[in-house]
Amino acid sequence: LPRDIAPVEVSVFPLLNKEELVKVALQIEDDLRLDGFIAEFDTSGTIGRRYARSDEIGVPFAVTVDHESLEDNMVTIRNRDTTEQKRIPISDISEVLDSLMNYWIEFEDL
E strand or H helix at 68? helix 67-72
Query: 88 pLDDT exceeds 90?
Result: yes
Average pLDDT across the chain, whole number: 96
What mean pLDDT is predicted for residues 63-92?
97
Percent of the chain with pLDDT over 90: 89
Question: Does position 15 have pLDDT exceeding 90, yes or no?
Answer: yes
| Confidence at 4, pLDDT banded by 50, 70, 90 | confident
Sign of CA dihedral 5, 97, 86, 64: negative
**11, 84, 96, 63 alpha-carbon torsion, rounded to 10°:** 30
Amino acid (1-letter code) at residue 40: E
CA distances from 49 to 13, 45, 46, 55, 74 (A): 11, 6, 5, 10, 22
pTM of the model: 0.94
